[in-house]
Amino acid sequence: MSLALSTNTAPEYGSGIGLGLGLYIAREIVACHGGAVALASASGEGATFAFTLSLAAASDASSET
């Protein structure tokens, strides 16, 4: 596992320095559930992160209980 130091240029979100673990952890959780994380970024405007997950079919969900 490697860690990278990242900076956040928006002062309203804390110190602006972190380890970048939040996105890594979120990506791992989403991946464990068969989903994916997407990124949309524009220079000077910031970034938007989104995730997708598949919903279980009704017959799949009822057989698990």
pLDDT on residue 2: 39
> CB–CB of 34/53 below 8 Å?
yes
pTM of this structure: 0.55
pLDDT on residue 28: 93
Report strand pairing: 36-42 vs 46-52: antiparallel
pLDDT on residue 32: 92
Annotated domain spans of the chain: 6-63
pLDDT on residue 20: 73
- 1-49 confidence digits (pLDDT tens): 333 444 555 556 566 666 678 888 989 999 999 999 888 888 888 888 8
Which tokens in the block code for residue 65?
Answer: 């209980």
> CB–CB of 6/24 below 8 Å?
no
